[in-house]
């Protein structure tokens, strides 16, 4: 998936709403690693969703409205000025905050160098070696995955499973030599604290997939 396809399919909005099918979701997540624009849009959307949850979770303010005893509430009762004005004001405040504060801030931050947390995973390591990444909620991080060159494989697939065992994303990368150390940019949005599993698979020229190992990645979130 390229950027034009992502925009045409409204992939960012549908990704946040969990409306993408499995194949399209995988293609979009792979696209995120190479497209800064879509990554910024995704972070802005995720922040908007979180901000909306905070605002909508606040206690409602009751507005007294005189209603005749014989009147029955209809479908458009919420359009009464006493209710419509506060609702519209809230929506305008959220939209204005996004347009004039959050989005410009995210665009500026995206153009600035960042020192992201990172960890290294060496799939040739024997035994269970847990990798630890310490970051803050929602922050991206990098995984440096070292894969020893092997002529038997034409490509590799990396899968990240959350602590509940659910697949978060899958990334296919071509094989290269002599050094197969890859820097994998991991989006932090939606990740919770716990032990994730990085599953590495080798793909032969004929398309056969072989498991090369599961590697635990401990994600520690600081507040």
- The reported pLDDT for the residue numbered 12 is 79
- The reported pLDDT for the residue numbered 69 is 53
Is residue 139 a contact partner of residue 188, using CB atoms and an 8 Å limit?
Answer: yes
Dist. CA 10–CA 33, nearest whole Å? 17
Dist. CA 34–CA 28, nearest whole Å? 10
Dist. CA 184–CA 81, nearest whole Å? 52
- The reported pLDDT for the residue numbered 20 is 82
- State pTM to two decimals: 0.51
- The reported pLDDT for the residue numbered 55 is 58
Q: How do the domains of the chain map onto residue ranges?
A: 3-110, 118-221
Which has the closest alpha carbon to 169: 37, 35, 27, 40?
Answer: 27
Dist. CA 217–CA 144, nearest whole Å? 12
- The reported pLDDT for the residue numbered 220 is 94
- The reported pLDDT for the residue numbered 167 is 94
pLDDT per residue as tens, the chain (223 positions)? 787 787 888 887 788 778 888 888 888 888 777 777 777 777 777 777 666 665 555 555 555 555 555 555 554 454 455 545 555 556 656 665 555 555 565 555 556 676 788 888 888 756 567 889 999 998 899 999 888 878 888 999 999 999 999 999 999 988 876 567 888 899 998 899 999 999 999 999 999 999 988 899 999 998 7
Which regions of the chain does DSSP assign to beta strands (E)? 118-122, 131-135, 141-146, 155-161, 167-174, 181-186, 194-203, 209-221
Dist. CA 62–CA 160, nearest whole Å? 46
Dist. CA 176–CA 119, nearest whole Å? 21
Dist. CA 131–CA 154, nearest whole Å? 26
- The reported pLDDT for the residue numbered 120 is 87
118-221 has which fold?
Immunoglobulin-like (2.60.40)
């Amino acid at each position: 998936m390229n950027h034009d396809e992502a925009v045409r399919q409204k992939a960012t909005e549908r990704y946040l709403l969990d409306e993408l099918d499995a194949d399209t979701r995988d293609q979009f997540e792979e696209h995120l690693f190479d497209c800064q624009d879509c990554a910024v849009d995704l972070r802005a959307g995720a922040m908007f969703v979180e901000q909306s949850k905070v605002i909508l979770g606040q206690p409602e303010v009751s507005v007294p409205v005189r209603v005749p005893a014989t009147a029955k509430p209809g479908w458009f009762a919420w359009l009464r000025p006493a209710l419509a004005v506060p609702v519209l004001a809230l929506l305008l405040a959220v939209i204005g905050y996004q347009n004039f504060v959050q989005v410009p801030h995210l665009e500026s931050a995206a153009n600035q160098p960042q020192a992201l947390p990172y960890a290294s995973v060496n799939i040739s390591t024997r035994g269970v070696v847990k990798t630890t990444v310490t970051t803050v909620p929602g922050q991206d991080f990098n995984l440096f995955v070292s894969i020893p060159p092997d002529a038997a494989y034409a490509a590799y697939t990396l899968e990240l499973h959350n602590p509940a065992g659910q697949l978060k994303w899958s990334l296919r990368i071509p094989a290269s030599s002599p050094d197969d150390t890859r820097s994998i940019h991991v989006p932090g949005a939606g990740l919770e604290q716990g032990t994730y599993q990085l599953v590495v698979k080798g793909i032969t020229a004929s398309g056969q997939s072989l498991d090369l190992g599961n590697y635990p990645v401990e994600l520690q979130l600081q507040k």
